[in-house]
Chain A
């Protein structure tokens, strides 16, 4: 697996739980890191979590679960339903479902949310690197 681009700079994983009733479904508890270098550019003096970092976070969670480098090859639909800022919302849940369609292809459905609302709803395909 390639080195993570965002773990321990953009986010930290606090816990991973596997759903006993559904082998495809797992839940990550993560904390956003407020002083991540990326906020210097997104945006100066107005930090907002980049949509693409949240998709990268989902990719890195999928890599942790499979133990393989994965690449996002297709996004059927990814919705960003609320603006996420690191100083207001630090604790997040990533709910992820991975279905191994063939040897090297996974269908990935994921939601990033907190106790109040969801921020990202992702449906895409990841391919082993």
Chain B
């Protein structure tokens, strides 16, 4: 399914390509880093905040898929409420493919806790715990 049917973000800040697999509480996404990424830096690597955006949008893709699975007509908008225990160890270059695992945690009203981890060549390069505000409108 086209990622644009699952999340409301669009270029230049669209930071996920595909929802590869999912069930109710897990998702795996992919993202290819391109030369023209809005967060590409002079040294040929993307800024670390782009990894955080990618992890958040990966969780948002699962939120969108869950909404569609529940029969909702619209996918929700997710906002980052909090990022914690986040480590960013490597900034990917253009041509690198990122694979991200999302674990859906506790939901309290419109707040959802997620754990995310991004791998590049089977090595973890970023991880974070996030609190997302999922606005179902």
Contacts and interface: CB of A to CB of B under 8 A. Distances in A.
Interface of A: 2-3, 5, 37-38, 40-44, 46, 48, 50-53, 55-56, 59, 71-80, 83, 124, 129
Contact residues on B (Cβ < 8 Å of other chain), bracket? 20 to 34
B103 interface: no
B32 interface: no
Interface in B10-44: 10-14, 38-39, 41-43
Contacts, number: 93
A47 B19 CA distance: 25
B88 A3 contact: no
A52 B50 contact: yes
B79 A80 contact: yes
B105 interface: no
Could you tell me the dominant secondary structure of chain B's interface residues? Answer: mixed
Contacts of B43: 2, 129
B12 A75 contact: no
A40 B89 CA distance: 30
Contacts of A41: 9-14
B42 A2 contact: yes
B84 interface: yes
A43 B11 CA distance: 10
Given A59-B47, A73-B48, A78-B83, 18 more contacts: A2-B43, A3-B41, A38-B38, A41-B11, A43-B8, A43-B10, A50-B53, A51-B56, A52-B49, A52-B56, A56-B39, A72-B49, A73-B88, A74-B86, A75-B86, A75-B88, A78-B84, A83-B79
